[in-house]
Amino acid sequence: MTSPIPIGELAREFGVTARTLRFYEDKGLLSPRREGSNRLYSRRDRARLKQIILGKAVGFSLDVIKEMLEIYDLKDGQAVHLEMALSRFAEQLVVLRRQRQKIDEAIGDMTRTMNLVAGMLRDRQASELEIPREAAE
């Protein structure tokens, strides 16, 4: 129906830039039809893009996303492929948890530092109140 859409539209729909879509094409992740020089993206292209974006969201590189898409394309009936994907996901899950851990540490560091600085500010204000200095430096 409304299927083949131009690059700008697809970009808007997914919140990416046209450059990004062309870049993915360059990397072999997408291969839209051409109408003259203009690109037209089918439903299949959109499905792939969705996968790509999800893959990126969970921290895969474009290279491994490409591999996974290719496995998907092999009419992935084979259980071997599913198991491969599953173990890869498991690995990535570990990575994600580690990242989460680091972010938590960073948040901890940050709040500690902020308390420290806030304390310095308070001290300063206190001493300004106690010992009003001359204006000149």
Partner DNA sequence: TTGCTCCTCACGTCACGTGAGGTGGC
Q: Which residues bind DNA (CB under 7 A)?
A: 6-9, 11, 16-20, 22-24, 36-39, 56, 61-63
Beta strands in 7-106 (DSSP E): 33-35, 38-40
The DSSP secondary structure of 5-18, one letter per residue, reads B-HHHHHHHHT--H
Site string for a copy of itself, 90-119 (x = CB under 8 A): x-xx--xx-xx-xxxxxx-xxx-xx--xx-
Q: Of 16-24, 30-38, 40-48, 51-59, which segment contacts a copy of itself by CB under 8 A? A: 51-59
Please check whether residue 32 is in contact with residue 42, taking contact to mean a CB–CB distance below 8 angstroms. yes
Give the angle 124-127-129 at the CA atoms, nearest 5°.
110
User: By the criterion CB under 8 A, which residues form the site for a copy of itself?
Assistant: 54, 57-59, 79, 82-83, 85-86, 89-90, 92-93, 96-97, 99-100, 102-107, 109-111, 113-114, 117-118, 120-121, 124-125
